[in-house]
Amino acid sequence: MTKLALVSIGLLGTLAGDVSLVRAQAADPIASKATAEERDLLELLDKEKYIKARDVAEKILDKQPDSFVATWAMARIQHDEESNHARALYYIRRAEELLQTQFGTPQEWGKKILLEDYWVNEEMDRSADALEVVDRYETKYGRGMDWLKIWPTFKLGKMDEARAIGRKLASSDDPFEREHGYNGMLALEFEAHDRAATYKWATDGVNASQGASCILLRNASGVAFTRFKLREAEELGLRANKAAQQDCDGQGYDQLAGLYLVAIATVVNARRSTVLPAAA
């Protein structure tokens, strides 16, 4: 292939990328109306460059206190970078207000804001508030968020209700709901200190997902570890790392690290306790 052909292909690829970007921005009412500075800020958020994003967001808010993009950015920054949940909630509520007054009700952005609201409340152990956010979400956008109800329902002391939600999801025909049902049930039984039930839900979940879910494999590895099934724990952790669906943090390495540290400690202690024969 000639150098000219290679240059032409590169140019076409660049043009195609530019066209895709323009189309994406046109489909997004926020990006299409954003200033160049706000679009740069959205890109920083997508890349999780929160420290730099904060500087940009604060500069925008100094000039435009009603900037939805900068307000949303501050919500994400306070939550994901600063871990200042109370401040994050302030910016989330402010962003929701600005979204409605400036853009109406764009569905995808409305969903983003409510889900951010939910996770902040859930992490603050404000379980009743988290469930209220789920209710608002389903009122606006339809049902289908039961998986978000399991943990706050449990935290409110309603174990039977939480189990009922988990079992319902585990029997769903939808793979996403089914995965979260099994994962929710193994977590609930773990909290109930029922090791046999936890192990059953963990292994059944791996089988029901055909071993494709990192999070189910990772958690099953941890459950096997607590039952001293060390070879099984290792095998599940390694499978999590290679799972087709990488839906968990750490890719199973955290479970493997714990397993190998225990193995190392066992060998070290065994050597220390070994009594060497006296010299002849």
CATH number at residue 92: 1.25.40.10
Alpha carbon of residue 22 to chain centroid: 28
Residue 224 lies in a domain: no
Alpha carbon of 247 to those of 35, 176, 261: distances in Å?
Answer: 34, 11, 25
Per the structure, the complete domain to which residue 53 belongs is given by 35-143
Q: How many residues does the chain have?
A: 280
Residue 240 lies in a domain: no
Alpha carbon of residue 175 to chain centroid: 17
Residue 222 lies in a domain: no
Residue 82 lies in a domain: yes
Residue 48 lies in a domain: yes
The SS3 call for residue 105 is coil
Enumerate residues 6+ apart whose C-beta is below 8 A from 140. 110, 114
Cα–Cα dist 172/167, whole Å: 9
What are the CB-based long-range contacts (under 8 Å, 24+) for 169-172? 170/201, 170/205, 170/208
SS (HEC) of 226-237: HCCCHHHHHHHH
pLDDT of residue 151: 97
**Which among 174, 165, 172, 128 has a CA at the least distance from the CA of 146?**
165
Residue 254 lies in a domain: no
Ramachandran angles phi, psi of 245, nearest 5°: -105, 100
Cα–Cα dist 231/215, whole Å: 19
Q: What is the CA radius of gyration of the chain?
A: 25
- Low-confidence spans in the chain with pLDDT less than 70: 1-26, 250-256, 258-260, 262-280
pLDDT of residue 253: 63
Tokens of 236: 């599940």
Residue 232 lies in a domain: no
Residue 102 lies in a domain: yes
Cα–Cα dist 137/219, whole Å: 28
pLDDT of residue 261: 72
pLDDT of residue 64: 97
**How many structural domains are present in the chain?**
1
8 Å CB contact between 238 and 256? yes
